[in-house]
């Protein structure tokens, strides 16, 4: 048998105009068009979305959890990046 495995695709759906696409799951399909159709059938049958993106799973590169300290730590120590670091006199009002 010459059958090869069917590729995996990640599915992103935007629920309303103005919202971002959100990852909602994955499907197996031979090509992009069939992946779109499968995603439509599986994930949008109850009005969940207005737009679908499908991406081959193999194309996605994820951050490594082992490096999460180096990756994400700096924000907390750099308080000048946060709006609460800057004091505005009360008389000035909301800013």
Partner 1 sequence: MYTQALNARDTEAGAVEDADRVAAFQARVDAEEKIEPNDWMPEGYRKTLVRQISQHAHSEIVGMLPEGNWISRAPTLKRKAALLAKVQDEGGHGLYLYSAAETLGVSREELTEQLLSGKAKYSSIFNYPTLTWADIGAIGWLVDGAAIMNQIPLCRCSFGPYSRAMIRVCKEESFHQRQGYELLLEMVRSSEEQKEMVQDALNRWWWPSLMMFGPSDTDSQHSAQSMAWKIKRFTNDELRQKFVDATVPQAHYLGLTIPDDKLSFNEATGHWEFGEIDWDEFMRVIAGNGPCNRERLAARKKAHADGAWVREAAIAYSRKRADRREAARHAAE
Q: Could you give the CA distance from residue 62 to residue 71 in angstroms, rounded to a whole number?
A: 12
Out of 19, 41, 50, 51, which residue is the one contacting partner 1 (CB under 8 A)?
41
The answer to whether 23 touches 11, Cβ cutoff 8 Å, is yes
Map the footprint of partner 1 across residues 55-94, applying CB under 8 A.
57-58, 60-62, 64-66
Q: How many chain residues are in contact with partner 1, going by CB under 8 A?
A: 29
The answer to whether 48 touches 15, Cβ cutoff 8 Å, is yes
Q: Which residues here bind partner 1, judged by CB under 8 A? A: 1-6, 8, 10, 23, 25-31, 34, 41-43, 45, 57-58, 60-62, 64-66
């Amino acid at each position: 048998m010459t059958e090869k495995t069917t590729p995996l695709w990640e599915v992103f759906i935007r629920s309303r105009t103005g919202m971002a696409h959100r990852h909602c799951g994955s499907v197996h399909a031979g090509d992009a068009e069939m992946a779109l159709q499968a995603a439509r059938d599986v994930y949008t049958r109850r009005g969940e979305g207005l737009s679908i993106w499908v991406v081959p799973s193999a194309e996605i590169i994820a951050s490594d959890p082992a490096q999460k300290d180096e990756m994400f730590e700096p924000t907390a120590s750099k308080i000048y990046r946060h709006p609460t670091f800057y004091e505005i006199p009360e008389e000035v009002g909301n800013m």
